[in-house]
Amino acid sequence: METIKIQGTEDTPKVTLDKETELMEISGRSLPEDVASFYDPVLSWLEEYAQDPNPKTIFNFKLVYFNTASSKLLLDILMKLEEIHENGNDVLIRWHFPEDDEDMEEAGEEYADIVDVPFEQVPYSG
C-alpha cells in the first residue's frame, strides 16, 4: 500500500498515512480552497486500508483550526474509521487539542458522540 505524505501549508494540514509504520495523522490548519479534492486521496487511502487494516489502528488528529467545509470531510474520515471498527478491528482515535482551546476540545467531543469508535481526548500545552 502506498504511503501518503502531504506537507502542511498555511491553509492545508499535514497528512501522513503510513500503514507500515502505523502512523496516521492529520495536523495543522485545515481550510483548503477545494476541500473535497484535498481530502479525496485520504478517503481513497482509507477505503483501501479498510480491506486489510493493521491489527490496531491509531489515527491522530492534531488540528489547531478547521473550517466548516473541512468538518464534513473530517466526519467522513471518522465514519470510515468507524466502519473499520465495526468490522471487528481495533481502532482508536486520538483527538489532540491545545489545552487552552475549548473550541477544538468541544469539536473532539462532538465527533466522539457521533461515531462509535474508542476516542481519546489528548490536551497538550502549545
Question: Sign of the CA dihedral 92, 121, 94, 75?
Answer: positive
In a domain, 112, yes or no: yes
Mean pLDDT of 32-61: 98
What DSSP designation does 38 have? H
In a domain, 111, yes or no: yes
Each residue of 73-91: pLDDT tens digit? 999 999 999 999 999 999 9
In a domain, 52, yes or no: yes
Mean pLDDT, rounded, of the chain: 97
- Rounded percentage of the chain residues whose pLDDT exceeds 90: 99
- The answer to whether 95 and 123 have CB atoms below 8 angstroms apart is no
In a domain, 8, yes or no: no
In a domain, 74, yes or no: yes
In a domain, 118, yes or no: yes
What DSSP designation does 16 have? E
Is residue 7's pLDDT more than 80? yes
How, if at all, do strands 14-18 and 56-66 pair?
unpaired
